[in-house]
Structure 1
Amino acid sequence: MTAPTYTGIAEEFAADVVLADDITGFEARDPGTVCEVLLTGATGFLGSFLLRDLLARGLTVTCLVRAADAEAGLARLRTTLGAYEVLDGVDLSRVRVVTGDVTRPRLGIGEAEYAELTARIGAVYHSAAKVNFLTLYKWLRKPTVDATHEVLRLARDARATLHHVSTTGIFEPKEHETPRGESDPTGPPESLSLGYTKSKWVAEQLVREAGRRGVPLTIHRPGQVWGDSTTGACQPNDFVWRFIKGSIQAGVYPRRFGLDMNMVPVDYVSAAIVAASRDPRSTGRCFHQVSAGSLDSDRILELVRGAGYEIREVSILKWMKAVSADTGNSMFPLMRLIVDLERFEAAEFSDEETRALLSGSGVVRPEIDERLFATYVAYFVRQGTLPAPAAGAALVG
């Protein structure tokens, strides 16, 4: 891990990027010898696929779950895995549930259970995150920044390699002459518009400092995580899908809207993270799980129409008026983000180092084309999230 290139950080973040003195380094284990791991965020979207892929590697996975007890935690896991249509592919006999909370000391785990846990795990996959684009940084400090300290302490106590899930959102959102690569500087945090991305930037700085102290780790920065390329399973509260649903509900679509994001299928993100984590060459490095290019507003409209939805292009003001007139519209609660998006200049990303590491691994990135988009639509129709497209439109799945 190289040191940050910043000469100064805004006062709001200066104290938060200071890593606790008690977090110290240790020797990395050979990933091939690790047979049991800890996963945070297993009841989240990406976490569900990480659980599936870790189990597919023959590992035993302990999941940290917020619940009254282990039985209730397992029930939460079942519900989430079922919703994302991966339950049938998961061997729950190799899943252990530990109840706790990443924001609390020792992750909210009792002393005896904590000692037993740290004695048997060889790696920690930290995908837990509070994803809220409407919340200020100060309200995300505890579940993101404080939690990172606790996860690092667990890795230290277990002498377990940490695999930290960050986001490409920590790059300054403006055009550069070349795409941002895995080794390029991120931030600064005051340039980031969302409290969520600011909190993830701070958390990554703590992880990077731990790496410089000798904690074995990897950092993973996915783009905007979209649905599974096989089943179409996706999270219904994803911003772009709420935008799509809201536009379908209103029957109109904003012309020349400034939406431009790097969307990447969740199964690729998960498979790439797990494959990298099992490769000893990955220790101490950052990786990008991104698509070859971004999806802009015009392309999304093409895909929506191609999936069979009749939708009319109007001015951004007419679209905003139509959405705001219906409190039940999917985009109604998020309208305050629209102004920021209109000023947003999407970054381009490079994943050259990631693709080089994954070469020969069998992990292939699916491209988001008309067929895959139809697969996503079919999933949302099955879930009752989207209405069925016009009669005669083909649905996949």
Structure 2
Amino acid sequence: MTSTTLKGVAEEFAADIVLAEDITGFEAPEPHEVSEVLLTGATGFLGAFLLRDLLAHGLVVHCLVRGADPGAGLDRLKENLRGYELLDGLDLDRVRVHNGDVAKPRLGMTEEAYAELAGRVDAIYHSAAKVNFLTVYKWLRKAIVDATHEILRFAGEARATLHHVSTTGVFLPAEDGTPRGELDRSGPPEDLALGYTKSKWVAEQLVLEARRRGVPVTIHRPGQVWGDSSTGACQPNDFVWRFMKGSIQAGCYPRKFRLRMNMVPIDYVSRAIVALSRDPQALGGVYHQVSPGSLDAADLLRLLRAAGYELTELSTLRWMKAVSADVNNSMVPLMRVLVDTEKTELAEFSDELTRERLKGTDVTCPVIDDKVFGAYVDYFVRQGVLPAPGL
């Protein structure tokens, strides 16, 4: 980082956005047919869908997975894919599991294994991240910030392009309310509400500095990622879903609650990232995977009722009391975050550059309508996360 970049950054983050000197640029390879790639975060939500879509392009996908041995790592991978109903139909013969840890030096691998892997892959998809909205920045630093240094070092060793998954959470709302575009300035980190978004902002600064040094990198910023628009497969610990589940458990819903987020289906996010990564003209850009519009609390209530859930509207205070009365309610651990969310103005986002680059492909963002939301509910009922409507 230059002194100009460091100016104005809070002391807490200034040292962390200094990229290690041993991470240097290299000439991006000439466009060619990529055959083998490295994927981090394959045992997560987005990583599972990236694995599916990368395999759909006939690639050999090397997955870095924590585990006692490759067999245990493969079992973790299968369990994750099964949970999102992705396992059937996937050709796992083209998946290579490597035991390691993205936050450790040399990715937690032996020198021999590290060098062998670096010699095979042409592209890296870095989707691994510790997602925790309750933890402060310093406890996420190793899992996200240190890991970014290590993945950038590996990119240099492999002379591979890097596709880095960030988040739209690195933005504050614009003072005039205009949507935040791909090239708008993010941060400042000290004003971001969550330790998670602060850590992702710091990681982005490292990636941007690596790009300035000549490392071929592309940044992807998904919005609030929701389930697959066809199968409904979704992560149950998503903040908004826990809010809705908590309301279903309590049988009531907060009237005029201030909650507005850009929810985007996971299948679009994954397909867009893969499509952009395979477009040589997209290399080096920043892209937003977001929906055309946001959903607010009133929209969520309408969708819940359309799905068949009967909820009584109460004042926010009475709703909070009803939720807090049940220690098993899914929202109890997140009440502090919920209060902060209602007080916080959230940014809107635009994706003009992303949509322009995706022109000519079949990748478009589905609208989260009654049908798509109904698929989400059906999935959660199948998984035992939500009661069936009417019960």
For the superposition of Structure 1 and Structure 2, which TM-score range results when normalised by the shorter chain?
over 0.9
Work out whether residues 226 and 263 of structure 1, in 8 Å CA contact, stay in contact via their aligned partners in 2: yes
Runs of 4+ with deviation above 4 angstroms: 2-6
Query: 3-state DSSP class of the match of 2:119?
Result: helix
The residue number in structure 2 matching 1:365 is 365
The residue number in structure 2 matching 1:247 is 247
Deviation at 1:32, TM superposition (A): 3.7
The residue number in structure 1 matching 2:279 is 279
**TM alignment of 1:1-397, pairs within 5 A:** 7-173=7-173, 176-390=176-390
Deviation at 1:29, TM superposition (A): 2.2
Q: Which amino acid aligns with 1:238?
A: D
Taking only aligned residues, the RMSD between alpha carbons, in angstroms, comes to: 1.4
Contiguous gaps of at least 5 residues in structure 1: 392-397
Deviation at 1:89, TM superposition (A): 3.1
In the alignment, the residues of structure 1 paired with residue 78 and residue 31 of structure 2 have an alpha-carbon distance, to the nearest angstrom, of 28
Work out whether residues 252 and 311 of structure 1, in 8 Å CA contact, stay in contact via their aligned partners in 2: yes
In the alignment, the residues of structure 2 paired with residue 381 and residue 34 of structure 1 have an alpha-carbon distance, to the nearest angstrom, of 40
Deviation at 1:191, TM superposition (A): 1.1
Number of residues paired by the alignment? Answer: 390
Identity %: 70
Work out whether residues 173 and 344 of structure 1, in 8 Å CA contact, stay in contact via their aligned partners in 2: no
Q: 1:31 to 1:64 in 2, by over 3 A?
A: farther
Query: 3-state DSSP class of the match of 1:63?
Result: strand
In the alignment, the residues of structure 2 paired with residue 100 and residue 355 of structure 1 have an alpha-carbon distance, to the nearest angstrom, of 36
Q: Which amino acid aligns with 2:294?
A: S
Contiguous gaps of at least 5 residues in structure 2: none
In the alignment, the residues of structure 2 paired with residue 256 and residue 67 of structure 1 have an alpha-carbon distance, to the nearest angstrom, of 46
Work out whether residues 31 and 277 of structure 1, in 8 Å CA contact, stay in contact via their aligned partners in 2: no
Query: 3-state DSSP class of the match of 2:96?
Result: strand
Query: 3-state DSSP class of the match of 1:162?
Result: strand
Work out whether residues 174 and 344 of structure 1, in 8 Å CA contact, stay in contact via their aligned partners in 2: no
Work out whether residues 174 and 180 of structure 2, in 8 Å CA contact, stay in contact via their aligned partners in 1: no
Work out whether residues 28 and 161 of structure 1, in 8 Å CA contact, stay in contact via their aligned partners in 2: yes
Q: Which amino acid aligns with 1:75?
A: D
Deviation at 1:5, TM superposition (A): 6.8
Cα deviation, 1:296-340, whole Å, max 9, x if unaligned, reads 001000000110000011011001101111010010111111221
Query: TM-score, normalised to structure 2's length?
Result: 0.98
Query: TM-score, normalised to structure 1's length?
Result: 0.96
Query: 3-state DSSP class of the match of 1:33?
Result: coil
Cα deviation, 1:358-394, whole Å, max 9, x if unaligned, reads 1011111101011100010000000010000027xxx
Q: Which amino acid aligns with 1:264?
A: V
Work out whether residues 173 and 180 of structure 2, in 8 Å CA contact, stay in contact via their aligned partners in 1: no
Cα deviation, 1:130-180, whole Å, max 9, x if unaligned, reads 000000000000000000000000000000000000000000145534211
Work out whether residues 175 and 348 of structure 1, in 8 Å CA contact, stay in contact via their aligned partners in 2: no
In the alignment, the residues of structure 2 paired with residue 177 and residue 254 of structure 1 have an alpha-carbon distance, to the nearest angstrom, of 25
Deviation at 1:78, TM superposition (A): 0.5
In the alignment, the residues of structure 1 paired with residue 259 and residue 169 of structure 2 have an alpha-carbon distance, to the nearest angstrom, of 14
Work out whether residues 174 and 346 of structure 1, in 8 Å CA contact, stay in contact via their aligned partners in 2: no
